A = this chain, B = another copy of it.
Amino acid sequence: MADETPPMEQDRSLFEAPPMGEQERMVEAILFASAEPVTVAELAARMPHGSDPAEALVHLRKRYEGRGVRVQKVGDAWAIRTAPDLGFLMQKETMETRKLSRAAIETLAIVAYHQPVTRAEIEEIRGVSVSRGTVDQLLELEWIRFGRRRMTPGRPVTFVVTQGFLDHFGLESARDLPGLKELRAAGLLDNRPPPGAGLEGEDDDEAGDAGQSELFED
C-alpha cells in the first residue's frame, strides 16, 4: 500500500492507516461538525491516507442504533440526525429568532435605566411617542412588567424590568447596568464633551421614585 503513495503525501501516510476505532472517531467528528451531509469521497479526502470511511461508517452506524441520534444516509451523503421518535423534544429548536426593533430596544433600555418609569416619561426621554405595540411586545416577552402606580394626577402605571430580562442579558441586577461614564470608557459612546445636565434633572421632580438615576451622575 505504501508503495503506491504519491511522494507529496504527508509523513503520516507513509505509515499505515489509523486503526478502525480511530477512523470511526474521525467520521463521527466530521459528521458532527459539518454544516452539510458528507459523502464517503469527502470523508476519504479529509481522513489520513489509506482510511476506509465506508467501513468506519458501518461501525458508527451500528454504534448509534437505538441511541438518541442516528447516522443517516441523505442522498449519497451521510449526516447525524435526531432519532425520529424524539422529534417532539425539538420543538424548542424551531423558534425563529429576530432582532428587536429599534423602538423596542430603546424603550427597553429606558425602562431598565430609569425604572420605575411611566409611558409619558419614556416618551419624553425618547422624544417620540411610544406605540402600544412596542410596550405590548416587551410585556409579552416578559422583559418588562407593570410596577406600582405613580402617586401623581392620573395615577399612571409604571414599568419595571423583570427577572427574565436580567436572565436574558446576563445581569445580576439592573443596578449593574453600566452608567454613561462606563459606557464611554468601554467605547460605546463617542468621546464627547461631558453632559452639563443629563436627564436626571428632568426626572428628579419625584424624589420618591428617583429610582436608579443616582447611578448615572457622572
Contact = CB atoms under 8 A, between A and B. Distances in A.
A129 to B, nearest CB: 10
Given A90-B33, A146-B177, A176-B147, A69 B28 contact: yes
Contacts of A32: 32, 68-69, 80, 82
A178 B157 contact: yes
Interface stretch (A98-106, A183-191, A193-201, A203-211): A183-191
A27 to B, nearest CB: 7
Interface residues of A, number: 68
A85 B6 contact: yes
B162 A176 contact: no
A30 interface: yes
B26 A133 contact: no
A187 B132 contact: yes
B68 A188 contact: no
B185 A171 contact: no
A47 B86 CA distance: 10
A148 interface: yes
A59 to B, nearest CB: 12
Contacts of A82: 29, 32-33
Max chain B CB contacts within 10 Å: which of A86, A91, A148? A86
A188 B136 contact: yes
A172 interface: yes
A25 B83 contact: yes
Max chain B CB contacts within 10 Å: which of A28, A133, A173, A177? A28
A16 interface: no
13 contacts: A1-B85, A6-B85, A25-B68, A28-B68, A33-B89, A47-B89, A119-B185, A132-B186, A135-B187, A136-B187, A146-B177, A148-B172, A157-B182
